[in-house]
Amino acid sequence: MSSYTSQIDRLTTLCQSQGNAWQGINPEFATRMHLQNRFKTGLDIAKYTAKIMREDMAAYDADSSQYTQSLGCWHGFTAQQMMMAIKRHNKTTKRSYVYLSGWMVAALRSEFGPLPDQSMHEKTAVPKLIEEIYTFLKQADARELDHLYKALDEAKAQGGDVQAITAQIDNFETHVVPIIADIDAGFGNEEATYLLAKQMIEAGACAIQIENQVSDAKQCGHQAGKVTVPHEDFLAKINAVRYAFLELGVEEGIIVARTDSLGASLTQKIPVSKTPGDLASQYNAFLDTTVISSVADLEEGDMVIKQEGELRKPVRLDNGLYQFKEGTEKDRVVLDCVTSLQSGADLLWIETEKPNVEQIAELVNRVREQVPNAKLVYNNSPSFNWTLKFREQVYAQWQAQGKDLSAYPDPSQDPKALMAPELDQSELAAEADTKVRTFQRDGAAQAGIFHHLITLPTYHTAALSTDILAEGYFGDLGMLAYVRDVQRQEIRREQASVKHQDLAGSNIGDTHKEYFSGENALKAGGEANTMNQF
């Protein structure tokens, strides 16, 4: 017996136990409504998706080709359309996640209006967006199942293959997938981090990404002025997130520890070392200092620390921040990563300044010397000029090989010369594009990247598609701009959005009205519905 029919039998028995009071309830309709809302709470989602992520991590450990991917989404609708597209084109949602970007929450979801990525937006906007995304993903489930239910009714009426459609219902694959959610630097101290993490988990997040910047001085990872915290402070926040997962019963919850040390040159705080070689001592060893020979070398308010038997003065800027020594960036990244993994984090995020597999692999391999199964979540950032950076890589490789480059401009003379459109059909551009196409596969195989994401893609796609439509519609094309470049494409790509009434839930509503009111239902659909044109 299928799970669909067994659920009908169970509800039939329940309805019969209520006598005439429930005579208006159809057990099959109740079954359908029960199945179209598989996840009753956000915690149901978090537990379900955490298990998926853990299984995917184990699969990647066994085979690096089994890496995972996501796109950043700033609205529930964009997440819904992404997952519907993945399922339609790939016939499965496996290894596909949603990324929730703090940058896009700040830029697009704050009541203050557009803000920079500096943790200035309302922190409650993050769990609200998680809840919104899952509301839209569950609605995608309900819509697709509603279509299957209608197909089942038609099969029953017309003598079709009822068993095959019932099997589709029983084996239905949900659009609900893991979310990796950005908590920035925790929006305050460790207690604030714990409280926000709880809200995010209750909304459905199974994976929380936290970074080692100072919360009230947080900067976008691709901007200057980043200030990191001592390891003890960061580990306290990792503990806070783990406690939140455990309190809520999401024992398989995932913590992604992000280090910004590769591009950070400042710290706000000098930790106290209690024993030689402890974490505080290792952190302080990276500080830029000057040797103090006498009290005369000190000025009012200067701080002195003892390192390797010498008195040293850390270099302090006018704003009170302390500076790290140049050239320590990679060593700081490795220590950040090892310490985080050894203290409860599950995955790493190393924020780099360019997409280069060799650079990432160098860092990950050093981490793996101490933590062999270290894995990355990697930001395939729109802040990178992918075209330029990969053409530079190919140019440098060919130069090292002694290849004739006389047909190409020298990037050392003009840093952006390789971006010239006339190079688009060149051999160098083709080789660079091949490297871009295989970057995720190569990064997964060579640099320990378990999860590839693009943080802000739907921000850019919304801007680009709107620009193209506006140019044509308000220009010479008029209505053809919409018909040719939007609607006609939707129809030919078989996108659900072309039938926007159905996608927004109109047909689901009609179905429910029929359940509730029978033949008296006032329905929005029918032969007069213009959606029948599609």
Query: What is the Cα–Cα distance from 274 to 283, expressed in whole angstroms?
Result: 13
What's the half-sphere exposure (Cβ side, CA atoms, 13 Å) at 292? 21
Query: What is the Cα–Cα distance from 85 to 227, expressed in whole angstroms?
Result: 39
In SS3 terms, 129-143 reads as HHHHHHHHHHHHHHH
Q: What are the E-state strand segments in 5-146?
A: 68-72, 96-100
Q: Which residue, 52, 51, 61, is CA-closest to 252?
A: 51
Q: 77 φ, ψ to 5°? A: -65, -40
Query: What is the Cα–Cα distance from 525 to 147, expressed in whole angstroms?
Result: 14
Which long-range contacts link 275-283 to residues 24+ away (Cβ below 8 Å)? 279/230, 279/231, 279/232, 279/339, 280/230, 280/231, 280/232, 282/231, 282/335, 283/230, 283/231, 283/335
User: Is residue 182 a known part of a binding site?
Assistant: yes
Our answer to whether residue 337 is catalytic in this structure is: no
Q: Would you give the distance in Å from CA 299 to the centre of its chain?
A: 48
In this structure, the number of other CB atoms found within 10 A of the CB of residue 107 comes to 18
Q: Which residue, 483, 458, 461, is CA-closest to 472?
A: 483
Q: Would you give the distance in Å from CA 10 to the centre of its chain?
A: 39
Beta bridge partners of 258: 211, 349
**CB 262, CB 330: distance < 8 Å:** yes
Helix axes 439-446, 427-437, angle to 10 degrees: 60
Single-letter residue type at 422: E
Burial class (CB in 10 A: 0-12, 13-18, 19+), 42: buried
Which long-range contacts link 40-44 to residues 24+ away (Cβ below 8 Å)? 41/202, 42/130, 42/131, 42/134, 42/201, 42/202, 42/203, 42/204, 43/201, 43/202, 43/204, 43/248, 43/249, 43/250
**CB 193, CB 187: distance < 8 Å:** yes
Residue 443 host element (H or E)? helix 439-446
Q: Would you give the distance in Å from CA 332 to the centre of its chain?
A: 25
Which one of 73, 206, 220, 337 is the catalytic residue? 220
DSSP letter at 213? B
DSSP β-ladder status, 254-259 and 207-211: parallel
**CB 229, CB 269: distance < 8 Å:** yes
Query: What is the Cα–Cα distance from 479 to 469, expressed in whole angstroms?
Result: 10
**Residue that is written with structure tokens 């409280």 in the block:** 195
Binding site for Mg(2+): what residues are annotated?
Answer: 182
Residues tagged active-site: 220
Q: Which residues are annotated as a binding site?
A: 182
